[in-house]
Every structure is written in structure tokens, then in C-alpha cells.
Amino acid sequence: MKIPSGTSPGGGLGRGLRSRTALLLAFAFAVMADPVSSVAYAIEAALRALNGDLALLVPAMVLVVAIVALVIVNYRQLVARYPRGGGAPAAVGEAFGDGWSFIPIGALVVDFLLTIAISVSAGSSAVIAYFPALAPWRLLLGLGLVVLVGAATWFGHLGRLVFAAMTMAFIVVSVVVLLYGLGAAPKPLSTIAGAPGHPPVLAVVLAFPVAMAMATGVEAATSAVAQLGQLDNDGKRRFGQLTLWLTLGIVGSITLGLAVEAAQLHVGIPPKDSTQIAELARLAAPAPVFAAFQLVTALLLLSAASSGFQAGPGLLKALARHINPHGDTVGVLPLSLGRTNHHHTPYWGVAVFIVLAGAVTAIAGGDDQELVLFYAVAVFLSFLGGLVSMALLARRDRQPGAVILNTVGAFVVAFTLVANLSRGFPIVSLAAALAVAGLLYRLWTKAGRPRGIRDVAAEAEIE
């Protein structure tokens, strides 16, 4: 059913505008749960990469926000081109052919898996920071949360309003903490290490990629617009682009605000059983506000994990039940991964992600700071494919301005990806994404190369 346009008398215009505003807020704040929640671990990850040098923390986070802004400016074009959803897979498929779309699809599968693992691990860290006695049980707590959130998804997806509420609550309490911090006195309660061992510019360049987890939610907005069946293509385009701008404004403001206050209050690398933003809130705000901050942080992180449990199995379902342009169901994956219960949940897909996310969490010991090193790699592979494809499509369409913008974006994304991979271990994420892509490509070939597979990311968002 279309949202009313508001042309009828008796308050129809007002009701229509209110309905659209409510839908926009619910959609936008739900979609940005992932990048907003990454504030819980990304700032600390950058500081650790800087060896605790607080003087370089703000420049590093400014660079992070600037790159997120560049990606968002480019992805506005992606939403404009594919208002029905699809994101990078749609662009890559159009530019290079359906078979190449499996590279960003494989990257998204790995990204959703890591979203679950890092979110439950960071949620455990938020709980332990308030209840230190739970520290010996970190891994069991993380594994329990994987099963709990996955099982909750099995019995029905949380709605956009729930995710939006968690995001708004975190934003509000974070602003309160920042306001209290304006009047707080510096009191170093955590580890402040020495120089990072490199010239300042090089140190920032080497450190910022680990904090690029904040960019992960950008991809979600380009596919999630497919959920907005009550809007026409122009409405979806506007909602998607506004969501990207809101994400940049909110994530950028909170990130820089927390980074600046951490530097001013000398909140460095936290003790073993705490987090940097927990130590900042503990120092800056009264005890009740600190408790509220830890609560909303944990709930937002679990919401982000739940979104991964929706997106990942949903993508597997779409691959199993893909419908080609002729209306034929031609699945790439086993049909069992497309079966749903009466809550519309692909239960076998959820089970697969529970097992895999649990394994990843166990390997990392339930430590979000271990996982964050691997997190941004897969999604930046998807970004790179999307931006290179958009540059080629803009060149084909004779849009020189878009070609320049997309090319610059692709170059910066490629540099960030290479900088992350230079750390060595993150190459595991790249290898996993390419392995998934290769497996899916082989299954697609075996299925007769069904057409339209580039649209599978949009299909995953539709009930």
C-alpha cells in the first residue's frame, strides 16, 4: 500500500507528511544501527594502532570520517541508479556481467558474518565494563549472545522501529555524556602509551584503516531501499539518499565528539576488562548516566548483530530462491536455505550463521579488538567493485563529473583496502570473501548461469 500523498481534505496532507516522516526516521535510524554501533570499538581500535598516542587520535578519526563522506557521496549515485535496491552487486553485474557480481556478494556474506561476531563481542565488552566480575566468562558470554540473538531472529525479525529506537537511544545518551564531558577534569585512568614509532603522518595513515568499520553501514542503505515497497522509485531514491546524509552527520558528529573528549580528558587505551568509551563515560558522567550509556551501547550492538542475522540468511535465501527475468525460480544454493517458517525466517540460513559466527567469535576469544582488524576489509572490497563499476557506467553514459568522482572514490577505497591488508592478518577476510565468491560462481555456472543474479542483494531485502 502506498503512503498517502496527502491531497485529500480534512488533514490528509498533514497525515501524509507525518507518515512519510515517521517512515523515513524508522528506516534511516534502523539502517544506520551498524555504523553507529561501530563507535563502540572503532575509535579504540585506531588508538591502539597509534600505540595510545592521543595527540594523533583526532586527526586519524577526521580522516576516517572524511573517507566515509567520500564513499557516501559516491553511493548517493548508486542509490540514484538503483532505487529498487541492489547496491554494489547490481553495479558490478551491469558493468562487467552477472558473474562478476559474486565478488561483492561474497564480500557481503563475510561482512554480515563479521558484523554478528564483532557486535556480540563488543556487546560483551560493554557488559563486562560495567560488571567486571563477568570478565572470566567473556567467551561464553559472547557465544551465548550469538545463540540468543540468532534464536530470537529465528522466531521473527525485529522491526525497523526497534532498531531505530536502539539507535536513537544511543545517540541521545551519547550526547548527554558528551555534554557532561565538557565540564569534566582530565584524570588519566587508563594506559597512555608513548609515541607510535612512526612519523605522525605515517602513523595516522597506518592507523586509520582499522577504524573504517564505521563505513560498513553505507552498503546497507543501498540495498535496504528495496524494503520500501510503499514508495515509488523516486521516493525510494530520496529516502536512500537522505539516509546516507543522516548517517554521515550522526556518525561523524558522535565519532569526532568522543574522539575529541577522549583526547582532552586523557582517556587512553583502557584497562583489560573495559573499553575506551566506557572509561570516558565513567569519567565524564554521573553513575546513572554511565549505567544508561553501557545499557544502550550493549542493546545497540545486539541490534547490529540481529541485523546481520537478518541480512546474511536473507542473502542466502535469495540465492536459493532467485527468480530470473522470465519469472522462473532458478536457485544457486540448495533450496533448503530458502525455506522459511511462518515468521518468514530462513531458519537453515540462520542456523548456518549461528555456527559460523560462533566459530569466528571463539577463534577471536570473544575480543572485539581482535576482530576489528579483519572487519573493514570485506566491505571495502564491495565498495571498490561498486565504485569502479560506477566509474565505467558513468563513462559509458558520458558523465565526466561522475567519472571523476567515482574514480577518486575508487582510488581512496583501494588505498584504504591496501593499507589494511598491509597489516598481514586482514588478508584472511579478503581470502574468505573471494573463496565465497568463487564457490557461488561455480554453483551459478552449474545451475546454468541464470540471468539477473546481480539483483540478488535487492531480492534479499524483500519479504
pLDDT of residue 1: 30
* Residue 60 near residue 201, CB atoms below 8 Å: no
What is the tens place of the pLDDT at every residue in 329-357?
677 888 888 888 877 788 899 999 999 99
Taken in order 314, 319, 325, 328, the sign of the CA dihedral is: negative
Least confident of 147-161, 420-434, 444-458: 147-161
Nearest to residue 217, comparing CAs of 34, 454, 452?
34
Is residue 347 included in any domain, yes or no? yes
Average pLDDT for residues 18-40, to the nearest whole number? 84
189 Rama sector, left if φ>0, alpha if ψ -120 to 50, beta otherwise: alpha
Is residue 20 included in any domain, yes or no? no
> How many domains does the chain divide into?
1
187 Rama sector, left if φ>0, alpha if ψ -120 to 50, beta otherwise: beta
Is residue 13 included in any domain, yes or no? no
The single-letter code of the amino acid at 419 is A
CB atoms within 10 A of CB 328: 10
What is the tens place of the pLDDT at every residue in 182-226?
988 887 655 555 555 667 788 888 888 888 888 887 888 888 888
Is residue 329 included in any domain, yes or no? no
For 265-286, where are the alpha helices, taking DSSP H only? 276-284
Average pLDDT for residues 448-454, to the nearest whole number? 86
26 falls in which pLDDT band (50, 70, 90)? confident
- What CATH number is attached to the domain comprising 200? 1.20.1740.10
Q: Which domain holds residue 220?
A: 25-320+337-456
Is residue 175 included in any domain, yes or no? yes
What percentage of the chain carries pLDDT values higher than 70? 91
Q: Is the pTM of this model over 0.85?
A: yes
116 falls in which pLDDT band (50, 70, 90)? very high
Whether the predicted pLDDT of 440 surpasses 90: yes
Average pLDDT for residues 39-49, to the nearest whole number? 93
Identify the H or E element spanning 68: helix 57-81
Which residues are registered as beta bridge partners of 329? Answer: 323
Is residue 156 included in any domain, yes or no? yes
pLDDT of residue 17: 60
Is residue 3 included in any domain, yes or no? no
With a CB cutoff of 8 Å and minimum separation 6, the contacts of 143 are: 358, 361, 362, 366
What percentage of the chain carries pLDDT values higher than 90? 58
Better-scored residue on pLDDT, 326 or 359:
359
Average pLDDT for residues 457-463, to the nearest whole number? 75
pLDDT of residue 4: 34
Give the chain's mean pLDDT: 87
What is the tens place of the pLDDT at every residue in 280-296?
999 999 999 999 999 99
* Residue 137 near residue 52, CB atoms below 8 Å: no
Is residue 461 included in any domain, yes or no? no
Whether the predicted pLDDT of 325 surpasses 80: no
* Residue 129 near residue 271, CB atoms below 8 Å: no
Helix, strand, coil proportions of the chain in percent (round to 5)? 75, 0, 25
Which residues are registered as beta bridge partners of 307? Answer: none
Grid cell for residue 301: 550492538
pLDDT of residue 221: 84
What is the tens place of the pLDDT at every residue in 69-105?
999 999 999 999 999 888 899 999 999 999 999 999 9
Length of the chain: 463
* Residue 89 near residue 384, CB atoms below 8 Å: no
